[in-house]
Amino acid sequence: MEKTDILIVGGSAAGVTAAVTVRRYYPQSKITLIRKEEKVLIPCGIPYIFGTLGSPEKNLIPDTVLSKNSISLIIDEVTFINKDDKAITTSNGKTIKYEKLVLATGSLPLVPPVPGVELDNVFTVKKDVGYLTELLQALEKAKDVVIIGGGFIGLEFADECKKRKNLNNVTVIELLPHCLLLACDDEICIRVEKKLSERGIKILSNKRAEAILGKKMVEYVKLDNGQKLKADIVILGIGVIPNVKLARESGLKFNEKEGIWVDDFMRTSDESIFACGDCVQKRCYLSGVATAIRLASQATTEARIAGANLFGVRRRMDCAIGIFSTCFGDLAIGSAGITESRAGELGIGVVTAEVAAPDKHPGSIPGAQELGVKLLFEKDTGLLLGGQVYGGKSVGELTNFIGSMIQNKMRADEVCTFQIGTHPMLTASPVAYQVVNAAQIAVVKMRKG
């Protein structure tokens, strides 16, 4: 029987971050990470394997992250947790005792109940090198690709697949009126759809995939309006569900759809077991109800909190804000917090303000691009609830900036006087700085209201 001080189950973003955090806070501890994969993919980089990168091998988390931090690695699958004995068993017959255990078992692709999903050349987005290599090989022979799901992953797959010269048609099927509608308001969604159409991608929104047709291999996708789309490959990109199998079988408190229950310190229903990442429940920062936000950025934040708290509370986890960004060609978009439409669903009165200006100053500087910001404030209190951004590559960090203001519960009047640094080659003009100006416009609206 092996023994370790801290055992981490799962080797993706959350597991690796938890292990490194434990090493920093508890330098004398013996740390072991166990995972079933020989190689671990960078989750958010998976779509780029099929265009920009060209190979799963170029999208890996290196094991040197573990070895440099003196973290032992075991390639095996944990099958059961004996909470009373504080020990796990594995598929290879190992028993490992632990003092503290961190579960970072991640998520699994959501497979819709559509007839034909079992056909050959129907793929999900699995975090598995061998599986994605098969998809890459299939794409090399394909002419027509249909992607079911118009969220971030589905659209990123579509954009990367379109870079492949052998493909004639790349089509996205989205159930909602617009792609990205769960994260962005209509005007941003329309901007993205226009850009993707310009790049040769067909967007079919307000459509449902009714069946995937073929004898042994996929041949067509049938829509709810009777239309048939030719398809050599179908990619299911409609989301993920938390991987709670180990928690379920080991008697931890969990919800099948929401994930493993954890408190504000990432502790499970067993005081010696912590959990983080896609496998755990999330709560919306505004409503407090369960939310389906599952992001590597969110997972690593939780992992840092879990790792710090193993032998004494040091950090508390805030509810999930949801901070997203992506890009298609020269158009990047980002979203933090709730959208205007979601605020309406929650019955929250809001004031919005939108400002667009060049992202460099003056706007005649080479490479300058329009950068637009939409901010959403609670009408009665002025509290910043959400923000959306579009423009060039600066969008990613500006979205993080807005997310930080939401996390710190800033009001419109506080954003108005936020101290910023600007530079002609790096930012918008201090006179036209979009976030500050949007907040000023919102303050004026609230006073008039």
Backbone angles phi, psi at 323, to 5 degrees: -125, 115
CA distances from 220 to 140, 146, 213 (A): 18, 9, 5
In this structure, what token pair is assigned to residue 75? 């390639």
pLDDT of the residue at 364:
93
Residue 322 resides in a domain: no
Q: CA-CA distance, 21 to 28, in Å (whole number)?
A: 13
Backbone angles phi, psi at 20, to 5 degrees: -65, -40
Residue 369 resides in a domain: yes
Q: CA-CA distance, 289 to 18, in Å (whole number)?
A: 26
Q: CA-CA distance, 395 to 336, in Å (whole number)?
A: 11
Q: CA-CA distance, 171 to 231, in Å (whole number)?
A: 9
CATH number at residue 433: 3.30.390.30
Residue whose token pair is 């979205």: 399
Domain boundary among 238, 267, 284: 238
Claim to verify: residue 230 and residue 145 sit in the same structural domain: yes
Domain count, the chain: 3
Q: CA-CA distance, 401 to 244, in Å (whole number)?
A: 33
Claim to verify: residue 169 and residue 224 sit in the same structural domain: yes
Claim to verify: residue 353 and residue 421 sit in the same structural domain: yes
Q: CA-CA distance, 394 to 126, in Å (whole number)?
A: 30
Domain boundary among 238, 256, 275: 238
pLDDT of the residue at 313:
82
Backbone angles phi, psi at 218, to 5 degrees: -60, 140
Claim to verify: residue 347 and residue 380 sit in the same structural domain: yes
In this structure, what token pair is assigned to residue 258? 């929401």
Q: Which residues contact 219 (CB under 8 A, 6 or more apart)?
A: 213, 230, 231
Residue 169 resides in a domain: yes
Claim to verify: residue 37 and residue 6 sit in the same structural domain: yes
Claim to verify: residue 130 and residue 80 sit in the same structural domain: no
Residue 320 resides in a domain: no
Cβ neighbours around 93 below 10 Å, total: 8
Residue 65 resides in a domain: yes
The domain in which residue 128 lies consists of: 111-238
Claim to verify: residue 246 and residue 102 sit in the same structural domain: yes
Residue 317 resides in a domain: no
Residue 7 resides in a domain: yes
Query: pLDDT (tens digit, 0 to 9) for every residue of the chain, 449 residues total?
Result: 899 999 999 999 999 999 999 999 999 999 999 999 999 999 999 999 999 999 999 999 999 999 999 999 999 999 999 999 999 999 999 999 999 999 999 999 999 999 999 999 999 999 999 999 999 999 999 999 999 999 999 999 999 999 999 999 999 999 999 999 999 999 999 999 999 999 999 999 999 999 999 999 999 999 999 999 999 999 999 999 999 999 999 999 999 999 999 999 999 999 999 999 999 999 998 888 888 899 999 999 999 999 999 998 889 998 899 999 999 999 999 999 999 999 999 999 999 999 999 999 999 999 999 999 999 999 999 999 999 999 999 999 999 999 999 999 999 999 999 899 999 999 999 999 999 999 999 999 999 87
Element (H, E) at 152: helix 152-162
| 3 state SS of 123 | strand
CATH number at residue 152: 3.50.50.60
Claim to verify: residue 359 and residue 411 sit in the same structural domain: yes
Q: CA-CA distance, 393 to 360, in Å (whole number)?
A: 12
**Contact between 251 and 78 (Cβ < 8 Å):** no
Look up residue 49 and give its DSSP letter. Answer: G
pLDDT of the residue at 318:
86
| 3 state SS of 389 | strand
**Contact between 10 and 273 (Cβ < 8 Å):** no
Cross-strand bridge partners of residue 102: 8, 274
In this structure, what token pair is assigned to residue 395? 């969008």
Q: Which residues contact 142 (CB under 8 A, 6 or more apart)?
A: 121, 166, 167, 232, 233
The C-alpha torsion from 183 through 283 and 266 to 324, rounded to 10°, is 10
Residue 326 resides in a domain: no
**Contact between 282 and 298 (Cβ < 8 Å):** yes
Claim to verify: residue 69 and residue 166 sit in the same structural domain: no
Domain boundary among 238, 265, 288: 238
Claim to verify: residue 116 and residue 219 sit in the same structural domain: yes
